[in-house]
């Protein structure tokens, strides 16, 4: 995450502040054009910012799971419900950031597929690496959203069962188990293709949808965060290498040494 954060800071300052080069452009591995460097600033940079914001919110969810488990064990229903609301409040911003990332990364004008030159191929490679990050973040969202939805459904069923027993005069019945709610959500965005790196919730180690203890849910969340961190490191290197090309293309040649003392 630190590497990706560094990339975000560089993209928001360095490229924006560099002067527009005049042709002919220097050749660094291949010709670096304004269009290539501009894409890093206008699309890659904002996509990374949205991912970094999601990293922070996903990290905030971890202690909330622990708190929720603690309050359930002590019978503090008010604090339990408040913690669940705080977890639920993370879902909307996470979805928005993921949608923003996908819009930036799926711009066909910036990332034409198939590519027609080396620059476009390099941009597609960066996009694919960043999409692996968003896929892992989508699965973190699935864990959080699925847990919230399952707990809320369980509480509704519990309350309905108590009311039915009170009406029927039966207070000794068994409380039914909550119906499992799939930890999945619709992240499709109109007009955009689905993320090819989507992670099936059933493949998350130790995560049995809708039936886990809190510690198992935390294990699943940590796995998705680890996946995101791994892909962020790979994506950060690709972006940094591209930034070096752009910075080199903006570099001014050193003046010739004077023959006069």
**Domain range holding 51?**
2-19+26-249
- Mark 117-129 as b/e (b = at least 16 C-beta within 10 Å): eebbebbbebbbb
pLDDT at site 216: 82
Concatenate the DSSP letters of all residues of 168-224 into one string: HT--SPPPPPPPP--S------TTSPPPTT---GGGSTT--TT---HHHHHHHHHHH
Asked whether residue 260 is domain-assigned, the answer is no
Q: CA angle, corner 39, sides to 55 and 91, nearest 5?
A: 25
Answer yes or no: is pLDDT of 163 > 50: no
Note whether 40 and 249 are within 8 A (CB).
no
pTM: 0.71
pLDDT tens, 199-222?
A: 776 677 656 544 546 778 888 899
Note whether 98 and 137 are within 8 A (CB).
yes
Answer yes or no: is pLDDT of 166 > 90: no
**Which range, 26-35, 181-190, 227-236, is most confident?**
227-236
Question: What is the pLDDT confidence band of residue 254, given thresholds at 50, 70 and 90?
Answer: very low
* Pair of tokens at residue 116: 């027609």
pLDDT tens, 112-128?
A: 999 999 999 999 999 99
Asked whether residue 254 is domain-assigned, the answer is no
For the purposes of burial, counting CB atoms within 10 Å of the CB of 163, is it exposed (0-12), middle (13-18) or buried (19 or more)? Answer: exposed
pLDDT at site 197: 79
Asked whether residue 208 is domain-assigned, the answer is yes
Asked whether residue 261 is domain-assigned, the answer is no
Asked whether residue 258 is domain-assigned, the answer is no
Asked whether residue 53 is domain-assigned, the answer is yes
Q: What is the C-alpha to C-alpha distance for residues 57 and 51, in angstroms, rounded to an integer?
A: 10
CB-CB neighbours of 25 under 10 Å: 15
Asked whether residue 259 is domain-assigned, the answer is no
Question: SS3 string of 80-111?
Answer: HHHHHHHHHHHHHHHHHHHHHHHHHHCCCCCC
Average pLDDT of the residues of the chain: 77
pLDDT tens, 11-41?
A: 554 444 444 444 444 444 444 678 999 999 9
pLDDT tens, 70-98?
A: 888 777 888 999 999 999 999 999 999 99
pLDDT at site 150: 87
Question: What is the pLDDT confidence band of residue 169, given thresholds at 50, 70 and 90?
Answer: low
28 strand-pairing partners: 30
Q: How many domains does the chain have?
A: 1
Concatenate the DSSP letters of all residues of 5-25 into one string: HHHHHHHHHHHHHSPPPPSSP
> 64 in helix, strand or coil?
helix
Q: Look at 20 and 131; give whichever has higher pLDDT.
A: 131
Q: What is the C-alpha to C-alpha distance for residues 130 and 5, in angstroms, rounded to an integer?
A: 13
> 54 in helix, strand or coil?
helix
Distances in Å between the alpha carbon of 68 and those of 62, 78, 89, 137, 245? Answer: 10, 11, 15, 22, 48
Asked whether residue 118 is domain-assigned, the answer is yes
Q: Look at 51 and 193; give whichever has higher pLDDT.
A: 51
Note whether 110 and 39 are within 8 A (CB).
yes
């Amino acid at each position: 995450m630190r590497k990706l954060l560094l990339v975000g800071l560089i993209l928001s300052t360095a490229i924006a502040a560099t002067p527009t080069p005049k042709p002919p452009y220097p050749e660094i591995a291949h010709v670096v054009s304004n269009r290539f460097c501009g894409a890093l600033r206008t699309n890659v940079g904002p996509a990374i910012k949205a991912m970094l914001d999601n990293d922070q919110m996903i990290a905030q969810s971890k202690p909330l799971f622990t708190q929720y488990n603690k309050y359930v064990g002590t019978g503090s229903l008010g604090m339990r419900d408040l913690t669940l609301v705080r977890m639920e409040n993370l879902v909307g911003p996470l979805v928005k950031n993921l949608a923003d990332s996908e819009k930036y990364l799926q711009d066909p004008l910036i990332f034409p597929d198939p590519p027609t030159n080396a620059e476009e191929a390099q941009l597609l490679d960066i996009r694919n690496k960043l999409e692996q990050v968003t896929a892992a973040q989508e699965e973190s969202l699935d864990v959080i959203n699925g847990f919230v939805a399952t707990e809320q459904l369980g509480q509704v069923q519990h309350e309905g069962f108590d009311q039915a027993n009170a009406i029927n005069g039966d207070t000794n019945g068994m409380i039914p188990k909550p119906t499992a709610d799939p930890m999945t959500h619709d992240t499709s965005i109109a007009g955009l293709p689905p993320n090819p790196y989507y992670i099936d919730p059933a493949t998350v180690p130790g995560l049995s949808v809708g039936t886990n203890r809190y510690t198992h849910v935390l294990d699943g969340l940590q796995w998705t965060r680890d996946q995101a961190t791994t892909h962020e490191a790979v994506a950060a290197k690709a972006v940094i290498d591209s930034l070096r090309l752009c910075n080199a293309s903006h570099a001014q040649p050193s003046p010739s040494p004077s023959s006069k003392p």
